Amino acid sequence: MIKGDKFFREVEENCWDPNARTKEMDMTEVGVQVLSTIPVLFNYWAKPEHGLETSRFFNDHIAQCVDLHPTRFVGIGTVPLQDVDMAIKEMERCVKELKMPGLEIGSNINNKNLNDPYFDPFWQAAEELGCCLFIHPWEMMGEDLMKRYWLPWLVGMPAETARAISSMIFGGVFERFPKLRVAFAHGGGSFPFTIGRIEHGFNVRPDLCAIDNDVNPRNYIGKFWIDALTHDDKALEYIVDIMGEDKICMGSDYPFPLGEHHPGKLIESMDSFSQQLKDKLLYENALEWMGIDGSRFK
């Protein structure tokens, strides 16, 4: 795979072959998987018409994979958010024609934060369609300043997710569109671990923080989802305590190195969690976020 004009990573058939995926799912005891596009293929940098063309190609492929294995896969689409009107039309196609419950989008769009008024028509359309949204970090801020040691992925991605959550909170997105069903990757990034600082800043410098929304940021906990991909049992306990047991879904980052190679293993290993809580984290919360009846997979 090439990013720009440089080699990015080598990908294998489990990135595109549904049969390879189902074999690996069986090996790791994964019953159902949500398919989404690799963020580097969002192609927000492209001309809008080209971004639409590639989005349609990826979405059609994902829909075909779901059609081949309807009890094993759910598909969510991608849209060319560099042009909101085109993005809305493709979102409508994904939901109405391809029967997808939602979309995956980036944590920023060509350096525009998600609170930018430019995106308001998109949020409104997603709310009206009942389209759930999965926000994945990409194009991490400061990436050019920390190229060594894989720091953009280890440090930049958690910060980028916190940037996206905080932008949507401070920018009033959740206030204007309260029916949005939004989930954020990688345990919510650094947001759950800095909510105290974020709230404190809101309280002591409202002249800087509360300029677009005067609601305490902590009040939005419970109004969006995060995934459980923390790689650490204490961190998982913490996010359940802070973010709430009903708003955390299992994340895998499959099939990449930073993923959990046996998805759900950390959740299942938690002796302090009841089976009821484990079931919520493993699948029930994800079904609620997507608005899907789980009986279709039985």
Q: Which domain holds residue 270?
A: 2-297
Predicted pLDDT at 296:
87
**pTM (2 decimals)?**
0.96
- Mean pLDDT in order along the chain per 10 residues (298 residues): 66 91 95 96 97 98 97 98 98 98 98 97 98 97 93 96 98 98 98 98 98 98 98 98 98 93 95 98 98 90
Residue-by-residue DSSP string for 266-284: HHHT-TTS-HHHHHIIIII
CA separation for the pair 125, 103 (Å, rounded): 12
Distances (CA, A) of 124 to 39, 93, 118, 292: 23, 16, 11, 21
Predicted pLDDT at 8:
64
CA angle centred on 196, ends 249 and 246, rounded to 5° = 20
Name the strand (E) or helix (H) holding 108: none
State the residue for tokens 């990135």.
Answer: 15
Domain count, the chain: 1
Whose CA is closest to 110, among 159, 187, 48? 48
Predicted pLDDT at 1:
61
CB 63 within 8 A of CB 90: no
In the structure encoding, which two tokens stand for residue 114, read together?
């998600």
CA separation for the pair 193, 197 (Å, rounded): 9
CATH number at residue 110: 3.20.20.140
CB 35 within 8 A of CB 73: yes
